[in-house]
Structure formats: structure tokens, C-alpha cells
């Protein structure tokens, strides 16, 4: 069976990105019940499930085993899949960043090309 490609989350706020990283950090340490995760993340039940869905959309596997949630991958590997909040760059700053040779640089170059058509 072929693996499904993760769905891109798109824009996330800095607060949500921070919370998703905190959730991953907690889950990477030990399996935890929903009540403890909600309390430590200062979330409601709906917000918790929205964040779980956001992780799944990003391609991060979180499983519920015996009433406890557990991260099924390495913490750093999971964090690398999360979307980055908008850095509020000017077009000039984006042009400077786009000069590199990595995948991230190429993505910025492609966005600039679309903007500057």
C-alpha cells in the first residue's frame, strides 16, 4: 500500500506553532492522557482535537493506546514536518533569503516569482 503524502497545513500563528511543538515535546517524553495534555497546554477539548488533527495533516503520527497519546516518531523528525509561521518579511528581505541553495530557499524563490509576475 502506498503511503499518503501529508497535507500542507498552510498558515499557522506563532502561538499555534509554539503549542504544537510543546505538544510534541510532551508526547515524546512519555505517553499521556488527554486530560493532562489539555491542562498542560491550557486548551479545551475542541482545541486539543484540532491540534491533533493539525499534527496528522502535517504527517505526524500520534496514537491513542490504552487511554494515552503517544508520538510514533522522533521528536526532531516530527517538528521538522510542522509549518512555520509567517516571518513577516519584506519582499527585499525575501529576495535576500532566496539566494541560498536549499529547498527552503527554492520555495521562497518560487513564491517571489509568483508575486513578481
Using DSSP, state whether 59 is helix, strand or coil.
Answer: coil
60, 66 in Cβ contact below 8 A? no
- The answer on pLDDT for 114 being more than 80 is yes
Domain positions in the chain are 14-80, 87-117
**Span 31-83, pLDDT tens digits:** 999 999 999 999 999 999 999 999 999 999 999 999 999 999 999 999 999 99
The overall average pLDDT reported for the chain is: 91
Banded model confidence at residue 113, pLDDT cuts 50, 70, 90? very high
66: alpha, beta or left, given left = phi > 0 and alpha = psi -120 to 50? Answer: left
- The answer on pLDDT for 11 being more than 90 is no
For the domain spanning 14-80, the CATH number is 1.10.10.10
Amino acid at each position: 500500500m502506498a503511503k499518503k503524502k501529508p497535507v500542507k497545513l498552510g498558515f499557522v500563528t506563532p502561538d499555534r506553532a509554539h503549542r504544537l511543538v510543546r505538544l510534541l515535546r510532551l508526547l515524546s517524553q512519555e505517553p499521556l492522557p488527554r486530560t493532562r495534555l489539555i491542562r498542560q497546554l491550557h486548551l479545551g477539548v475542541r482545541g486539543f482535537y484540532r491540534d491533533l488533527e493539525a499534527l496528522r495533516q502535517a504527517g505526524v503520527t500520534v496514537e491513542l493506546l490504552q487511554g494515552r497519546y503517544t508520538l510514533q516518531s522522533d521528536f526532531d523528525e516530527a517538528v521538522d514536518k510542522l509549518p512555520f509561521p509567517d516571518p513577516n518579511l519584506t519582499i527585499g528581505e525575501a529576495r535576500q533569503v532566496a539566494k541560498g541553495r536549499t529547498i527552503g530557499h527554492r520555495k521562497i524563490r518560487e513564491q517571489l516569482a509568483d508575486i513578481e509576475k
